[in-house]
Amino acid sequence: MPEHSNRRQAILEEMGLHPIWCLRHAAGRSVTPSVALVTVDQQLADLEAKVIQKSPVQKIVTVEVLTPSAEPAPDNPWQALRRNVVSCQACHLHTARQYVHWGLGESSAQWLCIAERPAPEDEQYGELLAGPVRRFFEQMLSSIHMQLSTDVFVTAMVKCHDPQQSPLTESSIDCCAGYYVQQIAIIQPKLIIAWGESVARQLLSIPLGEPVLRSHAYQYQNTLLLVMDHPAQLLMDPKRKAQAWQELCFAVSQTLRP
């Protein structure tokens, strides 16, 4: 047998394609084959069929287990409120906003800080207390062994930024009032910090003729409320930092009381 035939036979044996049945011809005449020819292509097809039949991964079937009696879990109040805030279109501010400033932090926070409205920098970065203001506030909290990520939730009375920075209208404030009231009710903080007199007046219904006292403990629905400067204000006027530190210490002393 020629050398190339031996090599071909060895390769076919290695592949499991041996023997190959070939038709023998009588000398000088043709013989009608009694056995059908089995070509290499046919053996390959048969082999492939056997491999598929024996393969453990014949067909991947995805089975979805359904419990007919199961009902969808009710919405978490915090998540439901957030969804309502994000989709709100109650006032004209929604037409020009890029973000809805729900808040920053966890619902299990001990302190709740409330600003009047998002700053231009907040709208630029898409979150409250953006950039240097956040770093400064985190330093303030670190000095009293607290963290923004776990101990403090920051929000704003009005959830949408106004590109014109026009004075807030009663309509815009009233549209968002229900949202921050619900945030307070769900968080149930030990302390509310009103960042600025305008926030304190709104929360406590203090008339314009009555002064807003600093380092004074107010009560908002049985929750302690203090008035402090917004961290951005402290960065713009560093002379106010000393008073802010005293107010921060006062806040700690009030929340640690039994």
Q: Map out the domains of the chain with their CATH numbers.
A: 77-255 (3.40.470.10)
Query: How high is the pLDDT of residue 172?
Result: 82
Residue with tokens 């009696």: 69
Model-level pTM greater than 0.85? no
Evaluate whether 80 touches 124 at the Cβ level (below 8 Å). no
DSSP-assigned letter for residue 61? -
Q: Which stretches in the chain have pLDDT values below 50? A: 21-23, 25-38, 40, 44, 47, 51-52, 54-70
Rounded CA-CA distance 159/157 in Å is 6
Q: Tell me the two tokens of residue 182.
A: 């619900």
Cα 100 off chain centre by: 14
Among the listed residues 231, 232, 255, the one whose alpha carbon sits nearest the alpha carbon of residue 245: 231
